[in-house]
Structure 1
Amino acid sequence: MKEKIFIIILAFLSAIAPLATDMYLPALSAVQQSFNTSEFYTQLSIASFFIAFAFGQLIYGPLSDVYGRKLPIIAGMLIFIISSFLCFLVDNIYTFIALRFLQAFGGCAGVVIARAIVSDCFDKQKAIEVFSLMMICSSVAPMISPSIGGMLLKYFSWQSIFVTLFIVGIVLLLLCIFYIKESNNDRIKFSFFNIYQAYKVTMSRAGFLVYVVCSSLVMSSMFAYIAGSSFVFVDVFGVSSQTYALIFGANSLGFMIAARLNIYFTNKFGVDKIVFMGFVIMLINSILLIIFSNNFYTFTAFLFFTLCMLGFITPNLVTKAMGKAKQYSGSASAVLGSFQFIFAGFATFLVGFMDANTSFKLACIISGFCVFASLTYIIRTNIVKMIKK
C-alpha cells in the first residue's frame, strides 16, 4: 500500500507542468484585461514558464546528486507554493511574468527528481511500470486541465487558478515530506567540477543521448498534435467542438491503454523488442498519415495509432536512458527533462511558424518528428548489432 501511494505521488509530481500551464490557458484573455496589457506580455507569461521549466531542471538534477533527493524537492515545492500565492496577489504584469518564471523554476524540481527517485528505488522492469504510470498522468493532465481552468473561470476570477495551484502545491509538499524517503545513498561532493563531471560522464555513456533525443522527438510529435489538432479538426474537417473533444479523449485513452499494455508486453517479450517494434509501427503509420491526410477518417485513424505507439516507446526509452547513469541519475534526469521540454517548445513553435492550418501540414510536422526518431533509433540499433557481431 505504501509503495502504491509512493508511486502515485511521483506520478502527480510529474504532471505538475501540464497542470500549471494548461489550467492557465483559458484565462489568457482575462489576464490581459485584468492587467490592461498587450497580448505579447500575456503570452510572455507562458514563455517565461517554459524557459524556467526547461533550464531549471539542469540545476535541480545535479543538486539532487549532491544533497539528496528530498531536500531539493521540498525547496522546489516551497518556491512553487509561494510564487503561486503571489500570482494571486500581484497587480503588475511584469511582476506576474517574473512570478510565473519562479513558479516553473520551483515546479520543475518535482518533475526532474521524481525520475531520479524511480531510478534509485526500482529495478529495470519495475521502473518501466512506474514510468508508464507517470506518462499516463502526464497525458491526462493536459486533457483535463483546460476544463478545470475553464470551470474555475466560470464561477470565479482568473486568480482562482493560482489559488488552486497553491493548494495543490501544499498537498504535494506534505505528501513529499511524509511519504518520500531519501533514496540517494551515493552522493557526490559539491563542486562545479563534480557537477561538470556528472554531466560529462552521463552524456558520454553509450546510447544515452540517442535515447534522450529519440524520446524527445516522439514527445514533440504529441505536443505538435496538441498545438494544431483543434484547428484542423474543427475548422478544416468541420467537426463540432464536442466531436473534437471525443477524438482528443480517444487519442489520450489510446495512449494510456498502450502505456498500460507496455508493462505486460515488456515482461513477456523484453524492452528492446517492444521499443523496436513500436518504432517500426510508428514509422509506417507516420508515412501513411501524410499520404492519407486529406481524408478525415484515414487521418484520424493513422493519427490514433501513431500516438498510441508513444505509450510503448517513451516509458521504455526513459528507463533505458536513466539506466545508463545510475550514479548520476539526477543529472541524467535533468538532461532528459530539458531536452524533452526544449523539443516540445520547438514543436509548438513550429506549428505556429509553419501556419499548420491544413491536415497535410500538421501531418508533415507530426510525422517528421516520428520518422526522424524512428530512423535514428532503428539505424543506431542495427549499427550496434553489427559492431557486436
Structure 2
Amino acid sequence: MTRSVPLIIVTLGALSAFTPLAVDMYLPALPALAEDFAADAGQVQLTLSVFMAGMAGGQLLYGPVSDRFGRKLPLLAGALLFVAASLGCALAPGLDALIGLRLLQALGGCAGVVIARAMVRDLFAPQEAARVFSLLMLVTGIAPIVAPLIGGYLLTWFGWPSIFVMLAGTGALALVAAQISLPETRPAGGRLTLGSALRSYGLLFTDRNYVGFALSNGLSMGSLFTYIAGSPFVFISLFGLPAEQFGWLFGANACAILMAAQVNRRLLRRYGAASLLTAGSAIAAVAALVLVVFAAGGAGIWGIAPPLTVVVAMTGMVLPNGVACAMASQGERAGSAAALLGSLQYLCGGTAVTLLGLWPAGSAVPMATTMAACAVTGFTTRLLVTRRPAP
C-alpha cells in the first residue's frame, strides 16, 4: 500500500461521518420542523427513524456488492446519492417528502459506513483494527461536536433548508477526497447473485460470537440514537434551553465520546477488546439506571446531564471494540459482515427511536427508560451470547 495510512484513515472517517452529520446537524431544527409542518414530535422523529431504517437496509446491499465488485466504486456511488438526496431534502415541500428523501439520503450515506469498516478489515490485523476504529471515532467524533453548533446557527440565520444544503456540500467534498486518496483494497472478482449474498448472511447468523458482538453494538447504538432523538425535546422544549446552547451541550457529550474512544485506544495496549467492551457496557448500564431514577424523580437539567453523559460516553468504548471483535474472523466475508453489523446497529437504533416516539411527551422519563432498556440488554447480551475470548 503506497498511499498514506493517516490520509486513508482521515478519509474513511470523513465518509463514515455522513451519518452523524446527517443526524446531528439538523437536531436543533426538529422543533422548528414540527412547527413548520404542523406536526407533533413523534411525526417529526419519523425523519430520524426512517433514516435509520435506510441505513439498516442499505448496508445489506453494499456489503455483498463490495465483496464481489470491489470497495471503491460502490463507495463513490453511495456518496453521490447522498449529495443528491441532501439537496432534495432542502427543497422538500412537506413532511412526507422530507421523510422519503431522508430514506434516500440514508441509502447513500450508509455506503461510507459499511465500506469504511470493510476497508479497515482488509488493511489491518484485529487488535490493530480496534485501535484504527478508535481513531475513526476520533475523526467522526468531530462531526457531532460541530454539527449541532453549525445546525443551530444555520437554523437561526437561514432556516432549516440551509442545513441540508450544507450536508450536500460536505458530501461533495468527501466524494472528491475518496476518489483522490483511497486505494482499492479488494479487487473485483466473482459473480454476485441473490443466493450467494443470502448464504453469506446465513453463515454470519450461525456465528454465535459474531451475532453476540453485533447485537451488543446495536443495542449501544439504540441507546445513543434514543439520546439523539429525545434530547432536543427534553433540553429545548422541556428545559427551555435555546437551540444554540443545546448545540454546545450536545457537543460536550460528543467530546465525552471522543475522550472515551481515545482512552480505549490506549487501554488496548494492555487489555483485549472483548474485556474493554464488557467494561464499557457495564458502566453504561449502571449509569442508565441512575438516569431513570433521576428522571423519574423530576430532576432538572443538572440532575439529568451527568448520568446521561456517562451513558453516551461509553459508546466510545463499546462501538470500536464491538466492531473489531465482530469482524475479527470474517476475512472473505468482511463486506457482508460489516454490512450486517451496521444494519443491526441501525435497526436497533430505529426501533428504539420509534418506541420513544410512542411515549407521551412531557418529561425526560421516556428518553431515560428507553436508553436504560438498550444499555442493560446490551450488557446482558455481551455476557450471555458471546462465548469465547475475542481479540
TM-score normalised by the chain length of structure 2: 0.84
Number of residue pairs aligned between Structure 1 and Structure 2: 382
Alignment check: 8 A CA contact 2:28 2:243 kept: no
Q: State which drifts further: 222-231 or 341-350.
A: 222-231
Distance change >3 Å, CA 352–CA 90, structure 1 → 2 = closer
Between the aligned partners of 1:271 and 1:140, the Cα distance in structure 2 is 23
The corresponding residue for 2:10 is: 8
Shift of 1:134: 2.7
1:346 aligns with 2:348: no
**Structure 2: distance between partners of 1:180 and 1:11:** 12
Which residue does 2:385 correspond to in 1? 380
Distance 1:50 1:362, change over 3 A: closer
Is the CA contact 2:29–2:160 (under 8 Å) kept in the aligned structure 1?
yes
Q: Take 2:26 and 2:303, find their aligned partners in 1: how far apart are those partners?
A: 33
Query: Would you say the 8 A contact 2:131–2:268 is kept in 1?
Result: no
Q: Mapping of 1:256-275 within 5 angstroms?
A: 256-275=258-277
1:11-32 C-alpha deviation (Å, 9 max, x unpaired): 1111102212333455568778
Q: Secondary structure at the match of 2:316?
A: helix
Measured in 1, the distance between the counterparts of 2:154 and 2:233 equals 24
C-alpha distance 172-239 of structure 1, shift in aligned 2 (>3 A): closer
Return the structure number with greater helix share: 1
Q: Tell me which amino acid in the other structure corresponds to 1:379.
A: L
Contact kept? 1:278, 1:312, Cα under 8 Å: yes
Other-structure match for 2:178:
176
Q: Deviations over 1:271-313 (max 9, x none)?
A: 2322222233333333343345435556443333333322222
Determine the structure 1 residue equivalent to 2:164: 162
Partner residue in 1 for 2:154: 152
1-side partners of 2:67 and 2:200: how far apart? Answer: 9
Give the Cα–Cα distance (whole angstroms) in 2 for the partners of residues 244 and 372 of structure 1: 29
State the partner residue of 2:62: 60
> In the superposition, relative to structure 1, how do residues 246 and 275 fare at CA in structure 2: closer, same or farther (>3 Å)?
same
Is contact 2:49–2:354 with CA below 8 Å preserved after alignment? no
Conservation of the 8 A alpha-carbon contact between 1:219 and 1:344? yes
Q: Classify 1:283/1:168 alpha carbon distance in 2 versus 1 (closer, same or farther; 3 Å).
A: closer
| Counterpart pick for 2:326 among 299, 321, 329 | 321
Q: Distance in 1 between matches of 2:16 and 2:141?
A: 10
Structure 2 unmatched runs, 5+: none
Match of 2:342 among 337, 342, 349: 337
Q: Is the 8 A contact 1:228 1:356 kept in 2?
A: no
Q: Bigger CA drift: 266-275 or 328-337?
A: 266-275
Query: Quick check: 326-335 or 102-111, which moved more?
Result: 102-111
Relative to structure 1, the CA distance from residue 241 to residue 49 in structure 2 (aligned partners, 3 Å threshold; closer, same or farther) is closer
Kindly provide the CA deviation profile for residues 319-374 of structure 1, in whole angstroms up to 9, marking residues without a partner as x. Answer: 11112322111111111111111211222222221236434443322222111111
Quick one: distance in 1 between partners of 2:179 and 2:210? 32
The higher-RCO structure (CA 8 Å, 6+ apart) is 2
Is the alpha carbon distance of 1:356 and 1:26 closer, same or farther for their aligned partners in structure 2, counting shifts above 3 Å? Answer: closer
**What TM-score do the two structures reach when normalised by structure 1?**
0.85
C-alpha distance in 2 between matches for 1:379 and 1:83 = 41
Distance 1:125 1:9 in 2: 21
Matches within 5 A, 1:1-389: 2-26=4-28, 39=39, 48-87=50-89, 98-156=100-158, 158-185=160-187, 187-233=189-235, 247-293=249-295, 294=297, 295=299, 299-355=304-360, 357-381=362-386, 384=388
CA drift at 1:50: 3.5
Asked whether the 8 Å contact 2:45–2:229 carries over to 1, the reply is no
Q: 189-198 or 288-297, which moves further after superposition?
A: 288-297
Alignment CA distance shift 1:307-1:27 (3 Å) = closer
Match of 1:149, as an amino acid? Answer: G
Shift of 1:33: 8.9
**Cα distance, 1:100 vs. partner?**
3.6
**1:301/1:148 Cα in 2 relative to 1: closer, same or farther (>3 Å)?**
closer
For 2:385, what is the secondary structure of its paired residue?
helix
CA distance in 2, matches of 1:263, 1:356: 39
> Residue 219 of structure 2 contacts residue 374 of structure 2 at CA under 8 Å; is this kept in 1?
yes
1:172-207 CA-to-partner distances (Å, cap 9, x unmatched) read 111111111111148442122211111112222231
Residue identity opposite 1:123 in structure 2: A
Question: Identity of aligned pairs, percent?
Answer: 36
Say which SS state the counterpart of residue 162 (structure 1) adopts: helix
Contact kept in structure 1, 2:69 and 2:188, CA below 8 Å: no
- Distance in 2, matches of 1:347 and 1:13, equals 25
Q: Which moved more, 1:93-102 or 1:304-313?
A: 93-102
Residue by residue over 1:204-235, the C-alpha shift from the partner in whole angstroms, topping out at 9 and shown as x without a partner, is 22311111111111121122223333444567
Residue 268 of structure 1 aligns to a residue whose secondary structure is coil
Any unmatched runs of 5+ in structure 1?
none
Superposition RMSD in Å: 3.2
Helix, strand or coil: the match of 1:181?
coil
| Rounded Cα–Cα distance in structure 2 between residues aligned with 1:90 and 1:231 | 23
Aligned partners of 2:29, 2:292: CA distance in 1, in Å? 34
What SS does structure 1 have at the residue aligned with 2:208? coil
What amino acid sits opposite 1:113 in the alignment? Answer: I
